[in-house]
A and B are shown apart, each in its own frame.
Chain A
Amino acid sequence: MLEIRSLSIRRWGLSIYVERMVVESRTVIVGRNGSGKTSLLRCIMGFYRPDSGRILLNGADITSLPPGERRLGYLPQHPVKLPFRPQEQLRYFAKLYGANPAHVIEQLGLESISQGAGLSAGELQLLNLATVLLKDPEALLLDEPVSSIDFTQKMRVIRHIRRLGKPLIYVTHDPIEALLVADELFLMHDGRLWGPVPNEWYESAENALSELDLYVLLARRAQRPA
């Protein structure tokens, strides 16, 4: 469980304040660009210190730990291309953490891409997610992880994120994406975190999205030659 208490950040003219946030499942923070959600995530990851407040991971105070020593996994917005072939990347980090890559390869369905060299942005993001999982983090911080990839890849990555079974904070500016991922939804506006938003607000919207997805499938089928 990740818990944030009375966290205050003042940076680049933006003031962010989080009274209390408890992350036990898939928690999405949705907000417009510049609302402070990425800054909050980066602060939780330890890239800079808050002005006040505490960050607790399973009861332990991690507020002043460096990023690498927090048992948190972080995925940035742009898919990072590390200087490895996919399988080599997984082997390198598995060795670093003393982990077995087979489990995450299976978990994220990476059997085919771990053999290849050229990856799409979506595949790259999945590979990086697998790399993060090798560290066996106790919670994940995902900063708009699908904002720069196409719809099909986006759905693939989101499906895997939904199955991870780890507490996570998922940041996005896209309300549709937020509804697809969220067990619990927060809204960030002008540096203030509002929520959790009551479930009934977005359950019906999720249903609407399922219908939209069905529409896409039907449209695709209709385009196929008879």
Chain B
Amino acid sequence: MERFWIYSLAVSSTYLAVFTVPTLATQRLAFTPQILGPLITTALYSSLATAIVIPLSLLTSLGSLRSDGRIITTLTTFPIAIPHTAIGVLLAPIFFRTGLHDTGLAILTGMLVVCLPIGFGVFRSYLAPLAETGYLEFLASLRVGGHRLILLILRSSKAALISAILLCWFRAFSELGVFFIIAQRPLTVGIYIYEAFMRAGFEEVAGAALTLLLVALLVSFAFTLGEKGARD
């Protein structure tokens, strides 16, 4: 087990080093305050998208556990296999015809589309083994359904809930492909980095990219503390 821990640490540290060391070694870093606006916008929309997608993920994952639930799994997870620019293209007719492109609604929609498969996957992987123990049937026999069932499942799956929130939030926060097509404004961090890079090159955006990395690390660490608390 000790050896596994060392290997795991080596892999995860390398992962971080690949992202940070070359940039820190070669770029002149300067904090770019312009990132703050897009960062706050993206964080707010990510939080809203996560709040919407978590109950939807739980609902769809519950439905997928039925013997005829395979269709729900297929219909919920397929967007993960499509390049997100293609998802943007597929959503484009709705948003361009209604004039709703480049709006908050377009950002939110893009985030919801890419987050649902993640939340669904987390809850399904938690609920599927639980269902095999008769947990859900026991609750059904006790006449626990609707909102009571959702609340009980959320209460008994705090660690899964925290993982789902973390992964959905990150997935929403990091979305770019859909926004390229239907939501270049309000400015989100992905679009900001891309535009700044195209306009001014590496040096202009290296600091901003590292700022994002730092924010992601901090959020991830805070969530892992919460997950540990939920397990304890």
Contacts and interface: CB of A to CB of B under 8 A. Distances in A.
Contacts, number: 55
A215 interface: no
A78 B134 contact: yes
Specify the main secondary structure of chain B where it touches its partner.
Answer: helix
Contacts of A45: 137, 141
Contact of A73 (B140, B141, B148, B155): B141
B141 A143 contact: no
Given A82-B156, A83-B152, A83-B155, A77 B142 contact: no
A96 B137 CA distance: 17
A78 B134 CA distance: 7
Nearest to A73: B141
B144 interface: yes
Interface string A112-152: 00000000000000001001100100000001000000000
A78 B136 CA distance: 12
Contact of A93 (B133, B137, B142): B142
Contact of B144 (A48, A68, A74, A132): A68
Contact of A74 (B138, B148, B155, B156): B138
Nearest to A76: B134
Contacts of B201: none
B155 A76 contact: no
Contacts of B67: 48
Interface in B128-167: 133-135, 137-145, 148, 152, 155-156
A167 interface: no
Interface in A47-67: 47-48, 66-67
Given A80-B134, A80-B135, A80-B138, A68 B152 contact: no
Interface string A21-52: 00000000000000000000010010110000
B142 A47 contact: no
Given A42-B137, A80-B135, A131 B152 contact: no
Interface residues of A, number: 27
A131 B144 CA distance: 12
A179 B136 CA distance: 30
Given A82-B152, A82-B156, A83-B152, A76 B143 contact: no
A69 interface: yes
Contact of B133 (A78, A83, A97): A78
Contact of A132 (B142, B152, B156): B142
A97 B156 CA distance: 21
Closest 7 CB pairs of A and B: A76-B134, A68-B143, A83-B156, A74-B141, A83-B155, A78-B133, A67-B140
Given A82-B152, A96-B144, A143-B134, 6 more contacts: A45-B141, A67-B141, A68-B140, A80-B138, A83-B152, A132-B141
